Amino acid sequence: MAILSKIRDRSMFLILIVGLALFAFVLNPSSIQRFFNASKTNEVGEVNGQVIGREDFAKQVENYRAKYGSRVTQMQAVNTVWNSLVSEKIFKTQLKEAGIVVGEKDIWDAMVAMPEIQNSPIFKNKAGLFDEEKLKEYVATLEDDAKSGNTKGWIDWLNTEKQIKQNLERQAYTTLVSAGLGASLKEGERDYNFNNETVSGNFVFMPYRLIPDSLVVVTKGDILNYVKDNPKTYKPEATRSIKYIKFDIVPSKADGEAVKAKVASYINDKEEYSNAAKSIIKTHGLKNATNYEEFLVENKSDLLLDNSYKFKNQVPKEISEAVFNGKLGDVFGPYKENGFYKISKLVEVIKMPDSVKSSHIIVPYKGAVRSTSNRTKEAAKKMADSIYNLVKNSDTKFKEMADKVNSDGTKGKGGSIGWITKNQAFSPSFDKDFANFIFKNKTGSIKVVETAFGFHVIKINEQTKPKKAVKLVTFARSIEPSEDTENLIFQKAEMVASQLSDGKKIDEVAKADGYKVQSAVNLKVLSENVPGIGAQRQIVTWSYKPEREIGNSKRFDINVGEKRGYAVVVLTGMTSADEISLNSSIIAKVRPLLISKKKAALLKEKIKGTTLAEIAKNANTTVRFASSVSLASPLISGVGNEPSVVGAMSTLALNKVSPAISGNKGVFVVQVTKRKNPIKLNNYNAFRNNMTKKLQGRSYQLYQVLQDNADITDNRGKFF
């Protein structure tokens, strides 16, 4: 009565609301629908009635990409965030129904127990032990920083807390479910019998290979019907298929010749008018240059200075013979290599080994790379000289001193660095002074050498046989397409796009102009890659637009690797999520199954007779014997794994001829002659426990089951 009274009190208000709604409906009926559907336009998805909003989802994707940068693509980030949110919401429903709650103290205790926290130096006291108060101070500082505008640390901390909470909740839920998994003694007994009962008998086997594949026709309709009959295995998905012509923006022959000529102009000195100097100035070419790093930078070489030494097989084939027969100062080229035109100058010829084994004793000083020492440079040099005088004539003393002085990875190894190849030594990651000493001196040499890391007492222990090597200075320009070339390629792509818009077929256009048509079939709504042109999410998104129709076409700018280009695309096929689409993968799986099924039907027609002997004679084969096969190991001698046949044998009455049975390898007719039951046990508890462990060990499948049974709406394809 109280509720009715309140309705009466507000009747005027309700009449006004209803009246406005009806007026709006009369004015514009579609606006009502838009009103009720407006919220849906910003939903990326829904899980068990819990909405995943577009704004929050996009923010999480952005944060994920900011964290991992170029290591992940846009769709990889989208999929990772989606999976995380779906998992979170699925478990949220289950946790609520199970009444599982994780409190702040549970989260804090788990946080404190983490090895990363326990072992972190910033949370240890003067005695070197973990101090919980220091952790609390650290958290308080993060919160204060967030209030001042520096939110990153605090957000990371909150995300860590959230992750720990989720882990604790899921562990509790999994433990709860696992505790409910078990087996009865009767199930334990059945498991014991399953693993230990054996049967023996005679059988006639007619393999499928007796029927040639040419006699069995499997149509697309057969495959389609099979897929329809197995919807859980072959769940329908929306797909799109396209055809496209790709236009690579690549340099023309004329572009290459222009770059070659430009590179050649840097060999010799030249005179050019300088606007800055208001006069003609002379600039050195590579032949007369002496400061090579400056020369490459000032003339805008597309490759940096390479200080490495090269054996003959490491020098480009185009110039290797000339280089190793040339003299210092000679310039070779222009020559083409790996998309560049180059000129190279021979600046050094030396004999050196391919690999060197060395040892060192390092004395760092304050300011040296990776050094934590407070020693002055002068003191370090003096110490290194003293060590040198002590160890220069004794391998034993060298090793002892190295193990005593060194603090790097050679400590405990007598200072041994091991074998280093020439390529490793003269790479940017290795110290050039160290490399120069060990590769330009003989075995047994020992010396104090200063490097970026401090002073080293270096000893060369072993070397491979020295070979002739050279150092080249190379100026290079990348062979790029000119503006005219780019314009020409663009015009070709636009011409094809225009012809398709006018109704012409892509295959006809391609044939007339000599282009290659490529296909991409059954693209899924969240696909990122298009076969043949890689990651082209834009094309997939276009193909799934609601207004798209078969025959629609468009030109796209594409990047394949580091190459730019265009793709003119035509939509050739569409299926909805309610339609079954047969792709090559499904056909490859289903076709052999249907071939075997049809062959089985043909073989069964050949079975004549009431005894195995009669059946074998009529089928022009023999009766075979299967000894002691079991459900646990359904292997039939001379045939292979046949679980369905052995399963049938386990239930057949003794000495009764079975009907035809379709197996993995062919058709069988069997007659069980002996069934050996295992010895009965007084107790089957051990087998029950074993079954329980197996069941509980499958708890990792729990989430997949929850996901399969969840009500999930996925709209990612509309937004990303």
Whether residue 358 is found in the same domain as residue 343: no
> Is the pLDDT reported for residue 127 higher than 90?
no
Q: Report the mean per-residue pLDDT for the chain.
A: 89
**Does the structure show a pLDDT above 50 at 32?**
no
Whether residues 219 and 243 share a domain: the answer is no
What pLDDT, in 10s, does the model give residues 532-590?
999 999 999 999 999 999 999 999 999 998 889 999 999 999 988 777 777 777 888 99
In a domain, 686, yes or no: no
> Which residues, 6+ apart, have CB-to-CB distance to 411 below 8 Å?
402, 403
Q: How confident is the model at residue 281 (pLDDT cuts 50, 70, 90)?
A: confident
pLDDT, residue 13, reads 38
User: For residue 380, what pLDDT is reported?
Assistant: 96
Whether residue 11 has pLDDT greater than 60: no
Listed residues 429, 464, 499: the one ending a domain: 464
Contacts of residue 703, Cβ cutoff 8 Å, sequence gap at least 6 = 87, 90, 91
The pLDDT value given to residue 151: 87
CA gyration radius, the chain: 39
Residue 108 sits in the same domain as residue 140: yes
pLDDT of residue 295: 96
pLDDT score, position 40:
58
Over the range 289-326, which residues count as b (16 or more CB within 10 Å of their CB) and which as e? beebeebbeebebbeeeebbbbbeeebbebbbeebeeb
**What domain range includes position 540?**
239-250+481-575
Pairing between β-strand 563-575 and β-strand 239-248 as defined by DSSP bridges = antiparallel
Find the helix or strand (DSSP H, E) in which 156 lies.
Answer: helix 152-179
Question: Each residue of 415-455: pLDDT tens digit?
Answer: 999 999 999 999 888 999 999 999 999 999 999 999 999 99
In a domain, 532, yes or no: yes
Kindly state whether residues 596 and 648 are assigned to the same domain.
Answer: yes
Query: What are the tens digits of pLDDT across the range 160-192?
Result: 888 888 888 888 888 888 878 888 898 888 889
Count of domains in the chain?
5
* Closest residue by Cα to residue 562 from 311, 338, 387, 259: 338
For residue range 685-704, list pLDDT tens digits in order: 988 888 888 888 777 788 88
In a domain, 516, yes or no: yes
Does residue 6 lie within any of the structural domains?
no
Q: Which of 464, 489, 511 is the last residue of a domain?
A: 464
CB distance 482 to 256 below 8 Å:
no
The per-residue pLDDT for 31 is 41
- Where a domain ends, among 541, 575, 609? 575
Same domain, 556 and 594: no
Are 339 and 423 part of one and the same domain? no
What are 293's two structure tokens?
A: 């790093």
Which pLDDT tens digit goes with each residue over 63-85? 889 888 888 889 999 999 999 89
Q: Is the dihedral angle over the CA atoms 62, 67, 73, 76 positive or is it negative?
A: negative
pLDDT digits (tens, 9 = 90+) for 616-670: 999 999 999 999 999 888 999 899 999 999 999 999 999 999 999 999 999 999 9
Same domain, 108 and 127: yes
> 189-237 pLDDT, tens per residue?
888 988 889 999 999 999 999 999 889 999 989 998 998 888 878 887 8
Residue pLDDT, tens place only, 286-337: 999 999 999 999 999 999 999 889 999 999 999 999 999 999 999 999 999 9
The pLDDT of residue 275: 74
Is residue 4 included in any domain, yes or no? no
pLDDT-derived band at 41 (thresholds 50, 70, 90) equals low
In a shared domain, residues 516 and 605: no
